[in-house]
Amino acid sequence: MEVIIEQLGTTNNILDRQKFNQNVIRIGRAYSNDLILTDEHVDKLHAFLSCDNEGRWWLSDNHSLNGIKKPRSRKHITRQQIKSGDVFLLGRNKIRILFGNHPLPPTVKVRLSEVFLLALGHLPVLFTLVVGYFALKGLTVYHTTTGEIKWSAILGSNLQVALSYIGLALLVYLLSVLFRRGGNFLSHIGLLILVFFASEALVLAVHIVRFNTASGADRFIAVWEQINGYLVLWLYFWSILYLAFHLSLKRRTLASLGLIVIFVSINLLYQDALKEFTRPTVDADRALLPPVFLWREPVPAGDFIAAGAGLYRQVEEDRQKALAERDKSNGKAE
């Protein structure tokens, strides 16, 4: 009867997989064994995997020094019947034992998103993205510089960004190889450029909306702006978990959301810590664009000033609050 033994890494990633077609399989460090485990904690002949007359498989310890355990269990196993999919620890070596009829999840059709992500690494696509990246960078610099444009300075600063992109992609590639996953270095570069495009587009969208709205909507726009940042970050995590680590759709969605939650909480902590130091400044956002982007009717001056009456109400509320707070802290001091 057929039996398959997988050697697993720390994250249960498969390091090696072998199929056997015999009734007794010898497992150990010695080269005479059927399954050779190269780990100093494993005995020369550590264990037997054997099939009895009724077709049941048994794993038995050969009086080894470190014995056999289940992961996360302290109990030593001397002999145990195998169910397909059981995982055991031999020394520090993790193995999974499966039978030929082990059930499989249904076949997944290649998703469009996955094709798209992988296509980012194709040379013509990547080349177009790189050209687009430099074109957009050049255009924004041209549009935002008030003084003389020094192309050498622009190239210098962008070279740094380009190098940091490549550095990040290399690091992820190395990690990916370490976990014996796909790598996809070029696709990662393409993905980074795409993420840059997405964030620029969202920034422009926010600016246009801000230009067109009265300050009553400030809070919503600020929230939207923050969400945009996280959205782009999530998109990046979600994609890279597929490209570099081949996580399944469910896993990469969960993992990327988890990462975002971590980022949001760190940011909130940071903002809370900064709150103490904020000074009373003029924080009108002042977004300005050519009138082509003006999509709404201007309000009559009278309406604007009438609405401005609310400001006096607001600052009086602020004042009462500040005075109450001051009384409270004075009370504490006394």
Partner 1 sequence: MMYRILHGVTALLFIALAAAAAGQNGDQNSALFARQKSGLVVIEVADRTSGNKNVIGSGFVVDAGAGLFATNYHVVSEYVLDPERFVLRFKSGDEGGGDLEIIALDVIHDLALVRATDSHALPPAAWQFTLAAKQPAQGAPVLAMGNPYDIGISIVPGTYNGLIEKQYRRHIHFTGALNPGMSGGPAVNASGEVIGVNVAGTVNSVSFLVPVEYLAALLAGPRDEPAPSDPAAWQARIVADLRAHQGGLLDDLMAGDWSGSEFGPLMIPTAVRPYVDCSGGTSEDDDEVRYRAHTSDCGVNDRIFLSRQLDSGMIEIDFGWYESDRYNRFQFYRMFEDIGFFPANQGGKKDLTRFRCREDIVRYDNLGDVPFKTTLCVREYLDYAGLYDVLFSAKSLLDRPEGVFLHYTLAGVPRDKAEAFHECFIGAVRWK
Q: Which residues bind partner 1 (CB under 8 A)?
A: 142-148, 211-212, 214-216, 279-292, 294, 296, 298-301, 304-305, 307-308, 310-312, 314-316, 318-319, 322-323, 326
CB atoms near residue 250 (< 10 Å): 8
Closer residue to partner 1 in complex, CB, 105/147: 147
Question: Whole-number minimum distance, CB 279 to partner 1, in Å?
Answer: 7
For partner 1, which is the closer residue by CB, 40 or 148? 148
**Judged by CB, which is closer to partner 1: 65, or 284?**
284
Q: Kindly state the smallest distance separating residue 290's Cβ from partner 1, in Å.
A: 4
CA distance 123 to 14: 31
Cα separation, 334 vs 317, whole angstroms = 26
Question: Are the C-beta atoms of residues 7 and 91 closer than 8 Å to each other?
Answer: no
Nearer to partner 1, 105 or 308 (CB): 308
* C-beta separation of 184 from 243 below 8 A: yes
Q: Burial-class residue 284 by CB neighbours within 10 Å (0-12, 13-18, 19+).
A: exposed
Give dist(CA 296, CA 217) in Å, integer: 15
Q: How far is the CB of 192 from partner 1 (least distance, A)?
A: 26
Q: Smallest distance from the beta carbon of 191 to partner 1, in angstroms? A: 29
Query: How many residues are recorded in the chain?
Result: 334
State the nearest-atom distance from the C-beta of 206 to partner 1, in Å.
14
Instruction: Please say which residue, 124 or 308, places its beta carbon nearer to partner 1.
Output: 308
- Give the angle subtended at the CA of 131 by the CAs of 125 and 133, to the nearest 5°: 100
With respect to partner 1, which residue has the nearer C-beta, 1 or 205?
Answer: 205
Nearest C-alpha neighbor of 88 from the set 104, 101, 75: 75
Of residues 53 and 330, the one with the C-beta less far from partner 1 = 330
CB of 203 to partner 1, least distance (A): 13
Query: Alpha-carbon distance 334 to 327, whole Å?
Result: 11
Of 207, 224, 217, 220, the C-alpha closest to 287 is: 207
Name the helix (H) or strand (E) containing 97. Answer: strand 93-99
Q: How far is the CB of 188 from partner 1 (least distance, A)?
A: 32
